[in-house]
A and B are shown apart, each in its own frame.
Chain A
């Protein structure tokens, strides 16, 4: 009778027991890999989180059952999980009591782990609570209390919850629950809580409310405008937390301010993306002058804030050679110039009333993002720079992976090439060999070579463009004369555009030969006559490095592209992965030429010698912004062009794309080259920011991280890549405590993303061309096109 009752009871809570077992295993795994020791009291929250996730799952599975049934299962779950954890800890304690050094076997299980879990304070766990300053461990001795199973319900051995950023405690709670009882109670409570909430939510059927809420937000102009102005609101918060011109901040965040401000700056970036996307094509009955007044007013407000900051806090971001500390006048002039460009752009664009919202959102977002670095300190700007470089890399990889669908795991190679190119061209370090003689590539004193290279490139570019322009002009003239014959011999191929048949291969080759030949001769004459020295001696090495670095990376992209043309999917990934490692190993091992593992040191910033103050980091941050902005702009343009469509088609189905007339070789190489060139820009800026680069900076992890941020953000989506970079690179910087687990979080996020949002956080919207196409056809029929 009793046995039958017990059996029925156990079978009714079987779901809970199973869930508790799995949750316990997950928590044990977290302990064994050392989460709890790293996070100290935060570990409790982590365990509670795990229990809540399983509680939610439990409540979903049992949603048809009564509340009592669900609660009973939740309690069982908590109990089983706790017992499992404590069995392990009891075992560990038993071993320790017997003199077996557990640390030798389980590196992660330390006395600290047990302190966190058992609630036994340090003083009682260790006979001598002083940490050895050399090894960081507690001195040996007989522990006072080690076995958590022996603990009693004791207010003094409470779990001490301390939660705060960088030492400051926001939450400082001493729960009167110690040992196994307290821990079990906590786990059960968290399971119960989540189960109850989910059970209630399922019963009440929230979907109706959700629909109503989203309809309210969509139909409510105030909510809509709030979304549009989110970046401005976030910036207002940031502004309030900062002191101005010597005065204190209006909102004082204390010691956690740095992290909060950094988070705010990320929010500004994310809100900017949201705001631009939320802008609709509405025709509000606002006159042209009203529309213009609103937007221009905001631009003037932002420019005014910038100038106030520049003057009040001596925050400069440009430094001419005469003023290495930064020039106030130049900074102000630049701010005014940017504001003027924005105003002019709006004057033109706002004539179209339907563009009001997008213009407003775009102008405000851009303005606030440009203003933001002026209000951040060096550390925060450094983090922003890192995020920006990753955005740059992500956008480049997005071309290869997101647009063209070529899975490239060796993307870091092009980044490294860009960095090393700039390093070689600019480093002031002299590498000595064993005999103390300058060895291999001498970094210092190659100014002459750099100048000649730069000058030659300029000459070649000018002459090549001239030859090409003249050649194409002559070809076209010939074309018009022989237009009818050309039509007859064009093998049935019809051309849609204004330009007729392209010059044939032999003509193109002739043009190239003429261009190269003429520029060689010109370069030789100009070099020997000393013109180069006079003209180019004042050019910043950064500019030269940027151009050469981009070209080097682009060529490397083509060189990688050629052998992998026939490969697809997994095979392509493996080969590119190998290529990335080859480049890194070359830089590591060609010691005589690259400095080997010691890297290249003393790389100059894109600033005059002796630069100091805010200009040292602000100039880099704006450089990154400029680079990322340009790359984003190029990406948008390319994606909307014939090339972008060819990539997209190729990604969807290579052989069908080929039968549509797409040259696969050309398209693939183009994608590799452009993606690599963008990585080159990132690399040059990275080298200028780090000032010392090592082969270890360019390991596989960089490729994986960039790929992760593209996938998590949304493949083929520019806002997605930006969001991915902020989430995966920026947020871990804020949560420094967690950064050890970045890879773990990456993995978990990737798995979750692929299951929950396979197209990314902010997937690319589908193109909306129908309206425009219909308009164009109408114009064509009217004969206006």
Chain B
């Protein structure tokens, strides 16, 4: 895929995606397009359907309606492992590292999708398997250096401090060499200084690794300062979209976050 083609067409395009849980519409008729090498954010109050939308993209849920195209190919309904194979990686709102595995092994699991060795190859340790394993190990170490965790490669992942676990999760997601990275509240539970560091880190990801990043975040300062594009969800529906400045001035957004006087809310509803 040439650079020109990538710039002209969105890397991820969701068209009227709907996901229901019984009668509850978690995500309703959502349209979203992300251009290459952008940082796009999805914000919204708790329960707005942000994580559900992430789960639809990464294959945990199959949306009932709509279409999600990644690099021009439809991906809705594929299994999570197939979607990871296509080049979408994600992190989780609550940290989910593999307990009982070391930091390096966690990253190596992330490389899984890019390796091709089979059990027979592993049993006989065929030359190309051994070479692939060496490459994977070197790459895992390189990623750990990138997230500044190389010194603790042999520690059990669950023994790391909280901030390091977050960075390790991102390293593990990067290990599959994704084109699109989904970050689900990467600064949850961090203090302002750690949030600042994470913000620079996310920028570095985009700039140094040519990644497209889709971000769920509650920290408005972070969202507004690094996003190229912000989408606001409320009750599963998109209520606003645009650059951070546009979104910040949208009355609907202010209303969703701060609430509005009753008569204004009604008139706003009628205006729609």
CB distance from B135 to the nearest CB of A (A): 5
B 117-159 contacts with A by CB, 8 A: 117-119, 121-123, 125, 128-129, 131-142, 145, 150, 153-154, 156
A523 to B118, CA, bound (A): 29
A493-526 interface code vs B (CB 8 A; 1 in, 0 out):
1111111001000000000000000000000000
Check A499 against B128 for contact (C-beta < 8 Å).
yes
Question: A219 interface residue, CB < 8 Å from B?
Answer: no
Check A648 against B81 for contact (C-beta < 8 Å).
no
Given A493-B86, A660-B172, residue A642 in contact with residue B81 (CB < 8 A): no
A658 to B1, CA, bound (A): 27
Stretch at the interface among A133-141, A350-358, A613-621, A776-784: A776-784
Closest to A666 in B: B81
CB distance from A718 to the nearest CB of B (A): 15
Given A649-B101, A656-B92, A658-B80, residue A495 in contact with residue B116 (CB < 8 A): yes
CB distance from B3 to the nearest CB of A (A): 13
Q: Which residues of A contact B179 (CB under 8 A)?
A: 492
Question: A641 interface residue, CB < 8 Å from B?
Answer: yes
B interface residues, tally (CB under 8 Å): 63
Q: Which residues of A contact B135 (CB under 8 A)?
A: 496-497, 776, 780, 785
A769 to B152, CA, bound (A): 11
Question: A104 interface residue, CB < 8 Å from B?
Answer: no
Check A497 against B128 for contact (C-beta < 8 Å).
yes
CB distance from B61 to the nearest CB of A (A): 11
Given A768-B154, A777-B138, residue A641 in contact with residue B133 (CB < 8 A): yes
Check B138 against A785 for contact (C-beta < 8 Å).
yes
Closest to A488 in B: B1
Given A492-B86, A674-B119, residue A774 in contact with residue B154 (CB < 8 A): no
A288 to B66, CA, bound (A): 70
Check A659 against B58 for contact (C-beta < 8 Å).
yes
Closest to A780 in B: B138
Closest to B100 in A: A652
Question: B265 interface residue, CB < 8 Å from A?
Answer: no
Given A491-B73, A652-B98, A773-B153, residue A660 in contact with residue B84 (CB < 8 A): yes
Q: Which residues of B contact A767 (CB under 8 A)?
A: 102, 104-105, 154
Question: A637 interface residue, CB < 8 Å from B?
Answer: yes
**Cβ contact of B112, chosen from A637, A642, A769, cutoff 8 A:** A642
A643 to B110, CA, bound (A): 13
B 75-94 contacts with A by CB, 8 A: 79-81, 84-87, 90, 92
Check B87 against A496 for contact (C-beta < 8 Å).
no
Check B137 against A766 for contact (C-beta < 8 Å).
no
Question: B229 interface residue, CB < 8 Å from A?
Answer: no
A 632-670 contacts with B by CB, 8 A: 634, 637-638, 640-646, 648-649, 651-653, 655-664, 670
Question: B67 interface residue, CB < 8 Å from A?
Answer: no
Check B109 against A493 for contact (C-beta < 8 Å).
no
Interface centre among A642, A645, A767 (most CB of B within 10 A): A642
Q: Which residues of A contact B87 (CB under 8 A)?
A: 491-494
B 1-18 contacts with A by CB, 8 A: 1
Q: Which residues of A contact B142 (CB under 8 A)?
A: 777, 780
A772 to B137, CA, bound (A): 8
Closest to B5 in A: A488
Check B138 against A642 for contact (C-beta < 8 Å).
no
A4 to B199, CA, bound (A): 75
Question: B235 interface residue, CB < 8 Å from A?
Answer: no
A780 to B81, CA, bound (A): 28
Question: B209 interface residue, CB < 8 Å from A?
Answer: no
**Cβ contact of B116, chosen from A497, A656, A674, A769, cutoff 8 A:** A497
A661 to B84, CA, bound (A): 5
Check B110 against A773 for contact (C-beta < 8 Å).
no
Check A774 against B141 for contact (C-beta < 8 Å).
yes
CB distance from A401 to the nearest CB of B (A): 14
CB distance from A160 to the nearest CB of B (A): 53
CB distance from A696 to the nearest CB of B (A): 34
Check A648 against B105 for contact (C-beta < 8 Å).
yes
A226 to B119, CA, bound (A): 39
Question: B239 interface residue, CB < 8 Å from A?
Answer: no
Q: Which residues of A contact B128 (CB under 8 A)?
A: 497-499
**Cβ contact of B122, chosen from A498, A642, A649, A768, cutoff 8 A:** A642
Q: Which residues of A contact B190 (CB under 8 A)?
A: none
B 171-215 contacts with A by CB, 8 A: 172, 176-177, 179
Question: A770 interface residue, CB < 8 Å from B?
Answer: yes
Q: Which residues of A contact B70 (CB under 8 A)?
A: 492
Given A494-B114, A776-B138, residue A659 in contact with residue B153 (CB < 8 A): no
Majority secondary structure of chain B interface residues (helix, strand, loop or mixed): helix
Check A769 against B123 for contact (C-beta < 8 Å).
no
Check B80 against A659 for contact (C-beta < 8 Å).
yes
Question: B99 interface residue, CB < 8 Å from A?
Answer: yes
Given A491-B86, A492-B71, A773-B138, residue A670 in contact with residue B154 (CB < 8 A): no
**Cβ contact of A660, chosen from B102, B110, B140, cutoff 8 A:** B110
Q: Which residues of B contact A777 (CB under 8 A)?
A: 138, 141-142, 145
Question: B111 interface residue, CB < 8 Å from A?
Answer: yes
Closest to B169 in A: A656
Check A661 against B123 for contact (C-beta < 8 Å).
no
Closest to A778 in B: B138
Check A638 against B123 for contact (C-beta < 8 Å).
yes
Check A496 against B102 for contact (C-beta < 8 Å).
no
Q: Which residues of A contact B86 (CB under 8 A)?
A: 491-493
A495 to B134, CA, bound (A): 14
**Cβ contact of B102, chosen from A649, A670, A766, cutoff 8 A:** A766
Check B125 against A637 for contact (C-beta < 8 Å).
yes
Q: Which residues of A contact B102 (CB under 8 A)?
A: 766-767, 769
A 469-497 contacts with B by CB, 8 A: 488, 491-497
Question: B115 interface residue, CB < 8 Å from A?
Answer: yes
Given A648-B100, A766-B156, A769-B104, residue A638 in contact with residue B119 (CB < 8 A): yes
Check B90 against A659 for contact (C-beta < 8 Å).
yes
Q: Which residues of A contact B58 (CB under 8 A)?
A: 659
Check A652 against B131 for contact (C-beta < 8 Å).
no
Q: Which residues of A contact B98 (CB under 8 A)?
A: 648-649, 652-653, 656-657
Interface centre among B104, B111, B137 (most CB of A within 10 A): B137
A441 to B101, CA, bound (A): 50
Given A492-B179, A642-B115, A649-B109, residue A656 in contact with residue B123 (CB < 8 A): no
Check B112 against A662 for contact (C-beta < 8 Å).
yes
Check A496 against B114 for contact (C-beta < 8 Å).
yes
Question: B252 interface residue, CB < 8 Å from A?
Answer: no
Check B113 against A660 for contact (C-beta < 8 Å).
yes
Check A655 against B156 for contact (C-beta < 8 Å).
no
Check B176 against A660 for contact (C-beta < 8 Å).
yes
**Cβ contact of A499, chosen from B108, B116, B133, B134, cutoff 8 A:** B116
Check A494 against B177 for contact (C-beta < 8 Å).
yes
Interface centre among A657, A660, A768, A785 (most CB of B within 10 A): A660
CB distance from A635 to the nearest CB of B (A): 10
**Cβ contact of A662, chosen from B109, B132, B133, cutoff 8 A:** B109
A493 to B114, CA, bound (A): 8
CB distance from A349 to the nearest CB of B (A): 16
A172 to B117, CA, bound (A): 65
Check A769 against B137 for contact (C-beta < 8 Å).
yes
**Cβ contact of B109, chosen from A499, A645, A663, cutoff 8 A:** A645
**Cβ contact of A769, chosen from B100, B105, B125, cutoff 8 A:** B105
A493 to B125, CA, bound (A): 25
Q: A496-B115, A637-B125, A659-B59 are in contact. List 8 more A-B contacts (CB 8 A).
A: A492-B70, A495-B114, A497-B135, A641-B129, A645-B105, A660-B84, A772-B137, A773-B141
* 10 tightest Cβ-Cβ pairs between the two chains A and B: A661-B113, A641-B122, A497-B132, A492-B87, A770-B153, A661-B84, A773-B141, A776-B138, A652-B98, A496-B114
Pick 26 A–B contacts, CB within 8 A, sort by A.
A491-B71, A491-B87, A492-B179, A493-B85, A493-B87, A493-B113, A497-B135, A499-B132, A637-B123, A637-B125, A640-B122, A642-B136, A646-B112, A655-B80, A656-B96, A657-B98, A658-B81, A661-B113, A661-B114, A664-B81, A773-B104, A773-B141, A776-B137, A777-B141, A779-B138, A780-B142
